[in-house]
Each structure stands twice: as structure tokens, then as C-alpha cells.
């Protein structure tokens, strides 16, 4: 029984890693040419397996992109969860640093392109759109709570919308003005975050 459980574990993890292989391939291909322009056979060769085998793990192409999106959102959730555990006085600085980090990661070439590709996919794949909207609602609530309860800021809802709009615009900025990254952008990000977590605006000069 112990043996059998071990075997189950092994085959389970083998299963899991094969699935991850496909998702990794999907991420890589999406960044290279977009998910829609990536065929299953390209996905197969990127993942190092056959076309038929991919259908052993995923019902169809849409299921693959959904899995990819969920995995990316899970990662984002972890970052926010870390934020939520914090308490005390220096929370603001830590929060600013964390957001800054997340923003800069989003301006990392790979993540940034993946982010955009996911968004484009959501536009034409209703299932992905739902996943994204649901995630957004959760995230908004979390940030609103952080802004209100932990930072004691007024107009939390508005601030969250402003933060998210700015955040979502960054990949686009990276794409359209690649030369400004990351040096010039870091300064703009700092200034924006400072504004967003300041109870009633004052600082404008870069920190």
C-alpha cells in the first residue's frame, strides 16, 4: 500500500510535470508569436511531445490557454498574499517596495508580453475573460482592504482603480517605448506609487 501510494505519487507528479511542460511551451510560444498563431503541432514540438499526446492531457486548445492563465494568476496571488500578512508601521514602505517590484516584473520583457497576450486572448475567449474578471474582483477587494484598513487611506476604491489602470498600462508602455525601460520608467513608477499611497497628496519630486 505504501508502495502503491508511492507509485501514485510518482505517476501523479509525472502527470503534473507533463502538464506543466505543455503550459511552459504555451507561455514560450505565446510570447514568441501569440497564442492564437501557435498551432498545436508547434506546441507539441516546443514541449517535446507529440500532437496526440497533448490531447491526452488537455481537452482542446482553449483548455491549454486557460491553464496558462490560471497559473499566471496564481503567481500574482502569491505576491499579494505576502502583502496581506504584513502589519505594523513600516507596512507602507514595504508595500511600496512590493508593488514596485511587481510593477517592474510586469515590465520584464517576458512577463510583459505574456501579460498582453493573455489579455488579447481574454478578448476573444469568453472563458479566459471570465477568469480574468473574477480574479480582478478578488484583487480589487484585497487592495481596497489594504488601502483602507492597513493604510487608512480615503477613497480607497478610486485609488485601486488608478493603481490598476497604471499597472495595466505599463506593458503597453514597454512595448511602445522600449527605450524608456527600465531606467526612466522606474522613476515614473516611484512617483506614481508615492502619489497613490499619500493620504492627501504632497510629494511630487522623485524619492
Which positions touch a second copy (CB under 8 A)? 33-34, 36-37, 113, 116-117, 119-120, 122-124, 129, 132-133, 136-137, 140, 155, 157-158, 161-162, 164-170, 172-173, 175-178, 180, 184-185, 187-188, 191-192, 195, 198-206
Residue 33 binds which entry of a second copy, DNA, none, with Cβ cut-offs from 5 to 8 Å by kind? Answer: a second copy
When asked if residue 125 is in the footprint of DNA (CB under 7 A), the reply is no
User: In what helix (H) or strand (E) does residue 64 lie, and over which residues does it extend?
Assistant: helix 61-85
Q: Which residue has the cell 502503491?
A: 4
Give the length of the chain: 207
Rounded CA separation 190/54 (Å): 44
When asked if residue 32 is in the footprint of DNA (CB under 7 A), the reply is no
Residue 50 binds which entry of DNA, a second copy, none, with Cβ cut-offs from 5 to 8 Å by kind? Answer: DNA
When asked if residue 53 is in the footprint of DNA (CB under 7 A), the reply is yes
Rounded CA separation 173/168 (Å): 9
**Alpha helices (runs of H) in 86-182, residue ranges in sequence order:** 91-106, 109-124, 126-145, 156-176
Query: Among residues 9, 14, 79, 149, which is the contact residue for DNA, using CB under 7 A?
Result: 14
Rounded CA separation 21/188 (Å): 37
Residue 17 binds which entry of a second copy, DNA, none, with Cβ cut-offs from 5 to 8 Å by kind? Answer: none
Give the nearest distance from C-beta 29 to DNA in angstroms: 10
* CA distances from residue 119 to 19, 26, 82, 123, 172 in whole angstroms, order as listed: 22, 15, 25, 6, 11
Residue 86 binds which entry of a second copy, DNA, none, with Cβ cut-offs from 5 to 8 Å by kind? Answer: none
Give the nearest distance from C-beta 116 to DNA in angstroms: 19
- Residue 63, C-alpha cell as written in the block: 483548455
Task: By CB under 7 A, name the binding residues for DNA.
Answer: 3-4, 7, 11, 14-15, 18, 38-42, 48-53, 55-56, 60-62
Amino acid at each position: 500500500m505504501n508502495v502503491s501510494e508511492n507509485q501514485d505519487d510518482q505517476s501523479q507528479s509525472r502527470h503534473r510535470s507533463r502538464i506543466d511542460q505543455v503550459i511552459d511551451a504555451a507561455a514560450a510560444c505565446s510570447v514568441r508569436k501569440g497564442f492564437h498563431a501557435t498551432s498545436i503541432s508547434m506546441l507539441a514540438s516546443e514541449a517535446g511531445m507529440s500532437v496526440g499526446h497533448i490531447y491526452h492531457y488537455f481537452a482542446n486548445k482553449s483548455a491549454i490557454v486557460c491553464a496558462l492563465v490560471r497559473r499566471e494568476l496564481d503567481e500574482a496571488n502569491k505576491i499579494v498574499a505576502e502583502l496581506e500578512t504584513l502589519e505594523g508601521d513600516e507596512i507602507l514602505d514595504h508595500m511600496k517596495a512590493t508593488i514596485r517590484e511587481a510593477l517592474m516584473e510586469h515590465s520584464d520583457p517576458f512577463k510583459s508580453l505574456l501579460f498582453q497576450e493573455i489579455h488579447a486572448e481574454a478578448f476573444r475567449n469568453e472563458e479566459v475573460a471570465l477568469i480574468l474578471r473574477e480574479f480582478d474582483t478578488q484583487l480589487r477587494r484585497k487592495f481596497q482592504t489594504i488601502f483602507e484598513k492597513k493604510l487608512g487611506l480615503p477613497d480607497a476604491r478610486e485609488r485601486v482603480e488608478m493603481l490598476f489602470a497604471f499597472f495595466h498600462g505599463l506593458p503597453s508602455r514597454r512595448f511602445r517605448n522600449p527605450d524608456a525601460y527600465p531606467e526612466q520608467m522606474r522613476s515614473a513608477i516611484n512617483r506614481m506609487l508615492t502619489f497613490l499611497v499619500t493620504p492627501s497628496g504632497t510629494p511630487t519630486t522623485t524619492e
